[in-house]
């Protein structure tokens, strides 16, 4: 399978602190790659770097981001603009906030095609139908405030996919939605990715969402990838202590009622507190002196999996 997106050794910094450090990952056509991690682990910044929409304070220190082989970081702004909406697009966490309150549904979607709405109206209507919006002829001229959150996210998806991009970045696309709507939106993303062969990078903090739709997953912690691999294998047998603890902290229906939620002791270190070694060392039950001193590289461990842990073999 050809790689649509290949991120190699990406490092981003804010005021000298490496908030994303040596991240590498790739996604193939039609594949859903999830990036999972706590708030502030760098997953959203990674997505913003792919779109070249980083906040001004963030600098790309190193690494390459290749979209179908072309390094985005080396393109001129006007060239990147040509890619956005056409070859790569993005949907956001708060669909209502991501739509201009004063513009109509159709105006938003037509922008991805670089055409005024009246010229591409039929195409926009078809797209609205495809993302499951009923009565598109009425909805196309409505404003975001007349739509529910779930419908707004469908509009966002329509605007993201109408240009038939090879890559879709979905930054917490269901976090702000009701659980039932979440499932519908995830199904829709999955279906459209399959039909159109779109590669999806799905950013989430929700392991349930990952299990639902992702093919592969990268677990991030404090700006680095802790572990990556196919979802089923990784969930069945995590090879990084952080992944294992994350999975153990998901409440289950079979838990004894009112039992104490499992938590990972300690907290994520701030960017100023990063030591020379593994960033999870301070909270890890398997820590040994080497972990504090030397950062473990993300090393392949077979079956398409990789882990950044010196002691992963202890977990087998």
Partner 1 sequence: MGAITLTRYLASRIGQALLASFGVLTIVFFIMRLSGDPTLLLVPEGASLEQIAQLRHELGFDRPLGMQFLSYLGDLARFDFGESLVQRAPVLGIVAERVPYTVALAVGALVVALGLGIPAGIAMAVWRGGIVERALSGFVLAGQSLPTFWSGILLILLFGVSLRWLPTSGSDGFASLVMPSLALGIVAMSTFARMTRISVLDELSRDYVTAARARGLSRGGAVLRHVLRNAAIPVVTIAALEIGNLLAGAVIVETVFAWPGIGQLAIQSIQSRDFLVVQAIVLFVSLVYVFSSFLADLAYVVIDPRIRMGR
The string of DSSP codes covering 111-167 is HTTTS-HHHHHHHHHHHHHHTT-SSHHHHTT--GGGS-HHHHHHHHHHHHHTT--SE
Shortest Å, Cβ 80 to partner 1: 9
Q: In the range 72-101, which residues lie near partner 1 by CB under 8 A?
A: 77-78, 81-86, 89-90, 92, 94, 97-101
For partner 1, give the closer residue by CB, 90 or 278: 90
For partner 1, give the closer residue by CB, 123 or 215: 123
Token pair 């590669």 is found at 199
CB 11 within 8 A of CB 63: yes
User: Helices marked H in 162-273 — which ranges?
Assistant: 179-196, 207-213, 231-236, 241-248
CB 32 within 8 A of CB 215: yes
Q: In the range 128-157, which residues lie near partner 1 by CB under 8 A?
A: 143, 145-146, 156
What is the per-residue binding string for partner 1 in 52-71, x denoting contact by CB under 8 A?
A: -x------------------
DSSP annotation of 314 = G
Non-local (6+) Cβ contacts of 311 within 8 A are 241, 286, 288, 291
For partner 1, give the closer residue by CB, 144 or 296: 144
Shortest Å, Cβ 191 to partner 1: 22
From the number of C-beta atoms within 10 Å of its C-beta (0-12, 13-18, 19+), residue 205 rates as middle
115 binds partner 1 (CB under 8 A): no
Shortest Å, Cβ 102 to partner 1: 5
**Beta partners for residue 17, in sequence order:** 14
For partner 1, give the closer residue by CB, 45 or 308: 45
For partner 1, give the closer residue by CB, 146 or 294: 146
For partner 1, give the closer residue by CB, 97 or 250: 97
114 binds partner 1 (CB under 8 A): yes
For partner 1, give the closer residue by CB, 56 or 276: 56
200 binds partner 1 (CB under 8 A): no
Number of residues that bind partner 1 (CB under 8 A): 32
**3-state class of 203 per DSSP?**
strand
CB 202 within 8 A of CB 208: no
Residues found near partner 1 in the complex (CB under 8 A) = 51, 53, 77-78, 81-86, 89-90, 92, 94, 97-103, 108, 111-112, 114, 143, 145-146, 156, 159-160, 163
């Amino acid at each position: 399978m050809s790689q649509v997106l290949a991120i190699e050794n990406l490092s981003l910094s804010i005021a000298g602190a490496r908030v994303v450090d040596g991240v590498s990952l790739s996604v193939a056509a039609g594949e859903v790659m999830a990036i999972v991690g706590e708030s502030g682990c760098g997953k959203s910044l990674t997505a913003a770097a792919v779109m070249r929409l980083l906040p001004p304070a963030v600098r790309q220190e190193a690494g390459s981001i290749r979209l179908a082989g072309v390094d985005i970081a080396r393109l001129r702004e006007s060239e990147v603009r040509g890619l956005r909406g056409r070859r790569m697009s993005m949907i956001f966490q708060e669909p209502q906030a991501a739509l201009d309150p004063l513009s109509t549904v159709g105006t938003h979607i037509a922008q991805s095609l670089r055409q005024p709405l009246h010229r591409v109206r039929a195409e926009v209507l078809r797209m609205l139908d495809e993302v499951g919006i009923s009565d598109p002829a009425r909805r196309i001229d409505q404003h975001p405030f007349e739509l529910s959150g779930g419908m707004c996210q469908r509009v966002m998806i329509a605007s993201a996919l109408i240009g038939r991009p090879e890559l879709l970045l979905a930054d917490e696309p269901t976090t702000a939605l009701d659980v039932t709507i979440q499932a519908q939106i995830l199904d829709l993303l999955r279906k459209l990715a399959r039909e159109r062969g779109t590669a999806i990078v799905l950013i989430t903090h929700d392991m349930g969402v990952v299990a639902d739709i992702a093919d592969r997953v990268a677990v991030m912690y404090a700006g680095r990838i802790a572990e990556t691999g196919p979802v089923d294998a990784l969930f069945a047998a995590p090879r990084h202590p952080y992944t294992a603890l994350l999975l153990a902290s998901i409440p289950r229906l079979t838990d004894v009622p009112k039992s104490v939620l499992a938590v990972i002791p300690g907290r994520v270190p701030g960017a100023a507190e990063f030591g020379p070694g593994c960033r999870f060392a301070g909270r890890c039950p398997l820590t040994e002196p080497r972990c504090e001193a030397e950062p473990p590289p993300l090393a392949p461990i077979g079956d398409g999996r990789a882990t950044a842990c010196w002691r992963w073999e202890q977990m087998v």
